[in-house]
């Protein structure tokens, strides 16, 4: 065995990490699990809750059913209770768990040392109609997703995969179930166990149910045999769970190089669901098998044209079985194909499934090999497991007309077919002598073919029998009597009937296939048409219109499109025909899951909500108002999902078109602004340059009198100051137009300080400047020109406000992610209480100061630092209560300086050093 | 100042600045000729063969950089660029095209004359250079022994620092862009790694300069490159 096979798959490890992360965000689910009612689950949960409360866990009882038991009620009294919500339904009012209140409780206690905890009894309970979720376990899921811990209780008979087993043991079928996935995903399962004798004793002493109910319940359910079996089931199921936890623990913790057997996905299961009632049994068996062997599994129902003979109700049953499979954790699909065997084989091979689980009705026709035998012949490498399932309840499978025809047109079909047979008989009567009897038989067969083509299978059967009867009655001598003169005619009748039936069946199935093909083609054409329309649109409103047209054409339904705005709130688009509950739509959008009719979330809503998932993010919600009460078939759902993703893609495309347009506009604006700034810069600086230069010329070329020399110097100084202001204004305009204009490079700070000092050497005059930088000063990612500018402005400011003998000290300190540069002086300091105000525009230290300058200098400093992602502020250096001077502090991000300094990169072996 | 018989061509479109430059230079004794367009400038440069060209970049009939490129085809006369816009990118383009130094408007007469003198000195100096020793301050570079001494003590330079120093010292008073230094020391293929130059220049300064924060010889032209000054301008 090569080492490669033992090495963990990186994708798998990544998935594990992601799962752990997701788990860390989710709340933790703890289930108190028992064999039957009365073992003390609620009591155990409440006792544990009391302990948790003393430890300071913020908890609340969402709902607890005490069944009037005194001990339990005593425990409830000490714990905080969440008030129940009243749900009116018809003329009754139900008291239900208040999910929103629990979520609000969770939110108010989020972020504390221990996460908030909600106690929720009876996980399998069904909520009153009109609640957000049909089942309480879905409420628990939502709480967990919101990061709230949930403790709950459940009995073994409520586990979905064991539901039928328990039903078989106790004879009582429970309809409230919890999916196994939830049970398996629970963080902790606590088994609350009580020996059956003790339970019966408790029952007898009335500690379990109130006395008048006890006898009735005991007779039906609490038989000792039942209780032993249930206890075994509960313990074994928990043992399975612990076992898989153990394996998971070993997988994650043991050294990977140890010779661990690893399951390959080739062993995965495929549950083949047939039409009719057997599907659920197959699904449950496959789920149990998958759970025991810890394998992933798929469940499929093949929608082959030969299945057209399958009635609507049987198909419905198969689809229900698939839905159950999905809840039990399977991948489900309804592949289509001409032959069931081929479709199944193809699906199994595509998904690497090597074990097929299928039903077996125990009734075998010797002339027709069963599906399993067919499959076994085709795929000798696959295991096929057959699960015995009870035969259909009715004596015969009901054969019904293909969908799309209501009963009235069906009866019309029978009538027309009967009339056509009668007409042929009537016309053939006078031609008895003229035509051969064989030709008359042909006429009847023609009617059968016509009936099959026009009305399908059953009218064709009627036509076949009616044709034979009329042929006998009208044509075969003696005429107008069912008597037959020649016994040979019996063969004619039998053959004629057989031929008519076979031709009729063939024609009808041809018609059904043609219809199915037409239907598929129509759908594909609809989708194609829609995608073509969508590819041309440029506005969201057009998308909405196309969506509403498509849904109307394909589903005869009203619809609405809701798109998210910048704040992720949904907005109804024009052209909406359906009435939408925005809250449901928002829920669907926030979770990215389907909601509304036909789903597990808010099924009472009129509309089915589909999230529009674009490649980058969710874009909105498509709401379809379903008129018929039945849920959509998988193909229809798939069609809707395809439609939703097409819509999402085109909305995303429109979004990016808009982004592109706006950024083009922005670029154009930027370009214009830069051109304008450059022009202003040139036009302002040129005359100033002439002014400065010409005053110089005046001073140097002609010896001037002292007063004139003073005037010339004043003109020169004013021009220089004006130039400085122009520079400040232009830089400010540039900086405020965005940080995009920075030319950042990795620069040593010392170099920038050095050039700043050189630039303002004249201004500083005799003031002593000291520079202290740490030895290990890293490179900083700066626009050197702008930072030099900043330092010059700060130093200029210091020079402006300090006496000539002042000292200036520049130092830097390395913080974790910042470099802090301080520029300290020994001047009068910043105005107290207004240390930061000096960085405002047009703000000067002291209002009446006789020092020139509008105060743009420091404001630009702040713009420069902020453009670099840093900050700047001022302080006064205090010593013994007196101001010793001002200190300007700027912090710049350290970033990740390049490690490579080119020491190795130079090509020193070549060329002559410095000799030119 | 009899030595200042150098001929200077000033190409500048603004009359006032041109007049200021001319007057300033004439007072110093230089022979000044003028042009106000790119085309005229090129003709003057070709016919008069000046010793130095003072060039404004923003000319009405084109970019001054084009003139530098043309000029470098047949002449190595020093080019001093006058830039109004003051953006580093523009200076770098001009320097890479072959300009030797730049002045940002507004500038004073003193600055102009200092730059002109430095360029002339360099140009004339180059003509008679060739000795194995380069001296500046108290530092001596011996190109034969490949040693650098400061005040008699041998400095320990890395090969890169030595090469960087030699290249800078060979072009006194000329602004060398980061790109030019990278090409000279590291060879082609490192055009984007301007921090190489900065890191080694910082180290070199610590060894050569008395106060690395206030260099006297290895001067920074912020955002553009470096300039080597043999004897500090005074």
With beta carbons less than 8 A apart as the criterion, state whether A120 and A151 touch.
yes
Same domain, A469 and A499: yes
- What is the residue-averaged pLDDT of chain A? 80
Pick left, alpha or beta for residue A42 (phi over 0 → left; psi -120 to 50 → alpha; otherwise beta): alpha
Please tell me the distance from the alpha carbon of residue B90 to that of residue B71, in angstroms, as a whole number: 18
Residue A630: pLDDT over 90? no
- Contact flag A898-B195 (C-beta cutoff 8 Å): yes
Under the banding of pLDDT at 50, 70 and 90, the label for residue A265 is very low
Same domain, A783 and A882: yes
Residue A334 maps to a domain = yes
Same domain, A226 and A292: no
Question: Each residue of A45-92: pLDDT tens digit?
Answer: 988 888 888 888 888 888 888 777 777 888 888 888 888 888 777 777
- Structurally, chain A folds into a number of domains equal to 5
Helix, strand, coil percent content, chain A, rounded in steps of 5: 50, 15, 35
CATH code, A326: 3.40.50.620
- Contact flag B109-A697 (C-beta cutoff 8 Å): yes
Under the banding of pLDDT at 50, 70 and 90, the label for residue A629 is low
% residues pLDDT > 90 (chain A): 7
Mean pLDDT of the A505-517 span: 85
Residue to mutate among B81, B163, B196, B222, with most A CBs inside 10 A, is: B222
CA end-to-end distance (rounded Å), chain A: 66
Residue to mutate among A674, A700, A751, with most B CBs inside 10 A, is: A751
Mean pLDDT of the B13-34 span: 90
Residue A746: which of B141, B166, B195 has the nearest Cβ? Answer: B195
Same domain, A249 and A272: no
| Strand boundaries in A787-870, DSSP class E | 807-814, 818-825
DSSP A914: T
Distance from CA of A353 to the nearest CA of B (A): 55
Distance from CA of A707 to the nearest CA of B (A): 21
- Contact flag B108-A696 (C-beta cutoff 8 Å): yes
With beta carbons less than 8 A apart as the criterion, state whether B189 and B179 touch.
no
Question: Which of A670-684, B68-82, B150-164 has the weakest average pLDDT?
Answer: A670-684
The pLDDT score that the predictor gives to residue A738 is 62
With beta carbons less than 8 A apart as the criterion, state whether A119 and A41 touch.
no
Residue A364: pLDDT over 70? no
- Contact flag A750-B198 (C-beta cutoff 8 Å): no
Q: Give the ranges where A61-119 is alpha helix by DSSP (H).
A: 70-77, 99-108
Residue A524: pLDDT over 60? yes
The pLDDT score that the predictor gives to residue B218 is 92
Question: Each residue of A382-405: pLDDT tens digit?
Answer: 788 888 876 554 333 333 333 334
Under the banding of pLDDT at 50, 70 and 90, the label for residue A916 is very low
Please tell me the distance from the alpha carbon of residue B143 to that of residue A890, in angstroms, as a whole number: 44
Distance from CA of B46 to the nearest CA of A (A): 27
Residues 709-738 of chain A whose Cβ lies under 8 A from any Cβ of chain B: 716, 719-720, 723, 727
Residue A585 maps to a domain = yes
Question: Each residue of A424-473: pLDDT tens digit?
Answer: 888 888 887 788 888 888 888 888 888 888 888 888 888 889 888 888 88
- Please provide the size of chain A in residues: 916
Question: Each residue of A161-206: pLDDT tens digit?
Answer: 888 788 877 777 777 888 888 888 888 888 888 888 888 888 777 7
Residues of A in contact with B109 (CB under 8 A): 693, 696-697, 699-700
Same domain, A228 and A335: no
Residue B32: pLDDT over 90? yes
Under the banding of pLDDT at 50, 70 and 90, the label for residue A862 is confident
The pLDDT score that the predictor gives to residue A660 is 92
With beta carbons less than 8 A apart as the criterion, state whether A493 and A470 touch.
no
Residue A402 maps to a domain = no
Residue B9: pLDDT over 90? yes
- Contact flag A696-B24 (C-beta cutoff 8 Å): yes
Helix axes A488-536, A540-555, angle to 10 degrees: 170
- Contact flag B105-A681 (C-beta cutoff 8 Å): no
Residue A659 in tokens: 């982004």
Residue B207: pLDDT over 70? yes
Coil, helix or strand at residue A573: coil
Residue A115 maps to a domain = yes
Residue A906: which of B112, B186, B212 has the nearest Cβ? Answer: B186
pTM: 0.50
Mean pLDDT of the B17-32 span: 90
Residue A355 maps to a domain = yes
Same domain, A217 and A121: yes
* List of residues 6+ apart from A85 with CB closer than 8 A: A95, A96, A97, A98, A101
Question: Which of A261-265, A888-892, B230-234 has the weakest average pLDDT?
Answer: A261-265
Question: Each residue of A710-745: pLDDT tens digit?
Answer: 888 888 888 888 888 888 888 787 777 664 567 888
Under the banding of pLDDT at 50, 70 and 90, the label for residue A242 is confident
Same domain, A214 and A124: yes
* List of residues 6+ apart from B66 with CB closer than 8 A: B38
Same domain, A125 and A209: yes
Same domain, A215 and A86: yes
Range of the domain at A762: 742-893
Residue A52 maps to a domain = yes
Under the banding of pLDDT at 50, 70 and 90, the label for residue A306 is low
Please tell me the distance from the alpha carbon of residue A172 to that of residue A186, in angstroms, as a whole number: 27
Residue A682: which of B84, B110, B146 has the nearest Cβ? Answer: B84
Same domain, A587 and A445: no
- Contact flag A750-B202 (C-beta cutoff 8 Å): yes
The pLDDT score that the predictor gives to residue A426 is 87
Question: Each residue of A771-825: pLDDT tens digit?
Answer: 998 988 889 999 888 899 899 888 888 888 888 888 899 999 999 889 999 999 8
Residue A275 maps to a domain = yes
Question: Each residue of A549-565: pLDDT tens digit?
Answer: 888 888 888 889 999 88
Residues of A in contact with B215 (CB under 8 A): 754
CATH code, A145: 3.40.50.300
ipTM: 0.89
Residue A886: pLDDT over 50? yes
Residue B144: pLDDT over 80? yes
Same domain, A59 and A189: yes
Question: Each residue of A314-327: pLDDT tens digit?
Answer: 777 888 888 888 87
Same domain, A292 and A317: yes
Residues of A in contact with B221 (CB under 8 A): 755
- Contact flag A905-B196 (C-beta cutoff 8 Å): yes
The pLDDT score that the predictor gives to residue A398 is 36
Residue A905: pLDDT over 70? no
Question: Each residue of A131-160: pLDDT tens digit?
Answer: 888 888 888 888 888 888 999 999 888 888
The pLDDT score that the predictor gives to residue A850 is 47
Coil, helix or strand at residue A303: coil
Mean pLDDT of the A821-834 span: 84
The pLDDT score that the predictor gives to residue A176 is 82
- Contact flag A685-B86 (C-beta cutoff 8 Å): yes
Distance from CA of A552 to the nearest CA of B (A): 60
User: Where do the domains of chain B lie, and which CATH numbers do they carry?
Assistant: 7-127 (3.40.50.2300), 133-228 (1.10.10.10)
> Last residue of a domain, which of A357, A388, A419?
A388
Residues of B in contact with A757 (CB under 8 A): 213-214
The pLDDT score that the predictor gives to residue A110 is 79
Residues 664-693 of chain A whose Cβ lies under 8 A from any Cβ of chain B: 678, 681-682, 685-693
According to DSSP, the residues that pair with A159 across neighbouring strands are A178
- Contact flag B222-A784 (C-beta cutoff 8 Å): yes
Distance from CA of B45 to the nearest CA of A (A): 24
The pLDDT score that the predictor gives to residue A556 is 82
Residues of B in contact with A718 (CB under 8 A): none
Residue to mutate among B171, B195, B215, B221, with most A CBs inside 10 A, is: B195
Residue A707 maps to a domain = no
């Amino acid at each position: 065995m090569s080492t490669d096979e033992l090495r963990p798959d990186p994708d798998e490890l990544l998935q594990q990490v992601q799962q752990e992360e997701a788990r860390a965000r989710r709340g933790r689910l703890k289930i108190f699990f028992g064999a039957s009612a009365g073992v003390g689950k609620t009591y155990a949960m409440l006792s544990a809750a009391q302990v948790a409360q003393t430890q300071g866990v913020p908890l609340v009882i969402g709902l607890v059913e005490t069944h009037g038991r005194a001990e339990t009620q005593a425990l409830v009294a000490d714990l905080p209770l969440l008030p129940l919500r009243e749900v009116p339904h018809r003329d009754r009012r139900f008291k239900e768990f208040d999910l929103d209140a629990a979520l609000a409780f969770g939110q108010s206690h989020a972020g504390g040392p221990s996460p908030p905890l909600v106690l929720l009894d009876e996980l399998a309970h069904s909520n009153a109609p009109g609640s957000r979720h049909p089942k309480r376990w879905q409420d628990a899921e939502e709480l967990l997703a919101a990061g709230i811990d949930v403790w709950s209780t459940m009995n073994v008979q409520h586990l979905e995969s064991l539901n039928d087993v328990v039903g078989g043991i106790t004879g009582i079928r429970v309809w409230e179930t919890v999916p196994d996935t939830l049970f398996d995903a629970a963080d902790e399962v606590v088994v609350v166990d009580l020996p059956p004798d003790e339970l019966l004793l408790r029952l007898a002493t009335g500690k379990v149910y109130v006395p008048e109910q006890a006898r009735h319940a005991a007779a039906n359910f609490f038989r000792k045999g039942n209780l032993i079996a249930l206890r075994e089931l509960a313990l074994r199921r928990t043992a399975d769970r612990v076992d898989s936890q153990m394996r998971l623990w070993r997988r994650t913790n043991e050294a990977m190089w140890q010779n661990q057997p690893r399951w390959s996905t080739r062993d995965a299961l495929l549950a083949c669901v047939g039409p009719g009632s057997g599907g659920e049994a197959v699904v449950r068996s496959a789920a149990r098998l998958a759970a025991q062997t810890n394998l992933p599994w798929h469940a499929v129902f093949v929608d082959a044209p030969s299945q057209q003979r399958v009635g609507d109700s049987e198909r419905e049953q198969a689809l229900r079985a698939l839905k159950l499979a999905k809840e039990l954790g399977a991948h489900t699909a309804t592949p289509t194909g001409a032959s069931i065997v081929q479709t199944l084989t193809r699906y199994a091979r595509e998904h690497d499934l090597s074990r097929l689980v299928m039903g077996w009705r125990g009734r075998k026709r010797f002339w027709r090999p069963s599906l399993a035998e067919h499959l076994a012949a085709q795929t000798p490498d696959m295991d096929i497991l057959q699960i015995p399932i009870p035969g259909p309840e009715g004596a015969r499978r009901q054969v019904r007309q293909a969908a799309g025809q209501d009963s009235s047109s069906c009866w019309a079909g029978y009538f027309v077919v009967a009339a056509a047979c009668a007409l042929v008989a009537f016309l053939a009567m006078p031609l008895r002598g003229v035509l051969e009897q064989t030709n008359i038989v042909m006429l009847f067969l023609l009617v059968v073919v016509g009936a099959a083509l026009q009305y399908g299978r059953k009218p064709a059967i009627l036509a076949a029998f009616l044709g034979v009867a009329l042929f006998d009655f009208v044509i075969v001598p003696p005429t107008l009597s069912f008597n037959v003169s020649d016994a040979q005619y019996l063969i004619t009748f039998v053959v004629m009937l057989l031929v008519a039936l076979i031709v009729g069946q063939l024609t009808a199935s041809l018609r059904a296939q043609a219809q199915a093909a037409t239907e598929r083609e129509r759908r594909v054409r609809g989708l194609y048409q829609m995608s073509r329309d969508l590819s041309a649109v440029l506005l969201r409103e057009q998308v909405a219109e196309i969506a509403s047209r498509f849904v109307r054409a394909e589903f005869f339904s009203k619809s609405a499109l809701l798109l998210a705005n910048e704040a992720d709130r949904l907005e109804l688009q024009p052209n909406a025909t359906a009435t939408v509950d925005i809250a449901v739509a928002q829920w669907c959008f926030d979770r990215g899951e389907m909601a509304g009719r036909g789903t597990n979330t808010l099924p009472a809503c009129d509309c089915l909500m589909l999230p529009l998932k674009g490649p980058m993010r969710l874009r909105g919600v498509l709401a379809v108002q379903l008129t018929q009460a039945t849920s959509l078939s998988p193909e229809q759902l798939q069609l809707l999902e395809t439609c939703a993703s097409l819509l999402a893609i085109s909305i995303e495309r429109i979004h990016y078109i808009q982004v592109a347009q706006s950024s083009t506009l922005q670029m154009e604006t930027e370009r214009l602004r830069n051109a304008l700034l450059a022009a202003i810069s040139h036009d302002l600086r040129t005359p100033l340059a002439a002014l400065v230069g010409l005053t110089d010329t005046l001073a140097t070329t002609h010896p001037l009198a002292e007063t004139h020399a003073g005037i010339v110097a004043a003109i020169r100084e004013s021009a220089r100051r004006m130039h400085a202001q122009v520079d400040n204004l232009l830089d400010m305009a540039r900086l405020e137009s965005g940080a995009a204009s920075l030319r950042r490079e990795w620069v040593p700070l010392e170099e920038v300080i050095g050039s700043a000092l050189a630039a303002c050497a004249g201004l500083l005059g005799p003031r002593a400047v000291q520079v202290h930088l740490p030895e290990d000063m890293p490179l900083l990612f700066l626009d050197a020109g702008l930072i030099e500018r900043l330092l010059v402005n700060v130093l200029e400011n210091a020079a402006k406000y300090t006496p000539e003998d002042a000292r200036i000290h520049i130092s830097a300190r390395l913080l974790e992610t910042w470099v802090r540069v301080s520029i300290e002086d020994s001047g009068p300091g910043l105005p107290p209480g207004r240390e930061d105000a000096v960085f405002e525009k047009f703000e000067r230290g002291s209002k009446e100061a006789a020092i020139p300058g509008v105060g743009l200098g420091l404001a630009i400093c702040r713009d420069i630092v902020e453009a670099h992602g840093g900050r700047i502020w001022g302080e006064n250096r205090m010593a013994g209560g007196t101001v010793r001077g001002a200190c300007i502090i700027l912090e710049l991000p350290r970033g990740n300086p390049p490690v490579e300094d080119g020491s190795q990169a130079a090509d020193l072996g070549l060329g002559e050093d410095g000799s030119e | 100042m009899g030595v200042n018989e150098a001929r200077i061509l000033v190409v500048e479109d603004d009359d006032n600045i041109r007049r200021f430059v001319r007057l300033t230079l004439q007072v110093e004794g230089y022979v000044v000729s003028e042009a106000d367009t790119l085309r005229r400038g090129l003709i003057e440069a070709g016919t008069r063969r000046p010793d130095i060209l003072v060039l404004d970049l923003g000319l009405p009939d084109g970019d001054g950089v084009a003139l530098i490129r043309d000029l470098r085809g047949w002449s190595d006369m020093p080019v001093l660029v006058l830039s109004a816009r003051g953006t580093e990118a523009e200076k770098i383009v001009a320097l890479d095209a072959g300009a030797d130094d730049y002045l940002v408007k507004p500038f004073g007469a003193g600055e102009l004359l200092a730059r002109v003198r430095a360029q002339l000195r360099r140009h004339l100096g180059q003509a008679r250079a060739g000795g194995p020793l380069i001296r500046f301050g108290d530092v001596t570079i011996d190109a034969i022994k490949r040693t650098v001494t400061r005040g008699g003590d041998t400095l320990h330079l890395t090969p890169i620092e030595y090469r960087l120093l030699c290249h800078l010292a060979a072009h006194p008073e000329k602004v060398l862009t980061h790109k030019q230094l990278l090409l000279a020391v590291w060879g082609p293929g490192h055009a984007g790694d301007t921090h190489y130059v900065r890191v080694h220049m910082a180290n070199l300064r610590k060894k050569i300069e008395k106060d690395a924060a206030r260099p006297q010889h290895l001067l920074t032209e912020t955002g553009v490159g470096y300039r080597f000054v043999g004897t500090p301008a005074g």
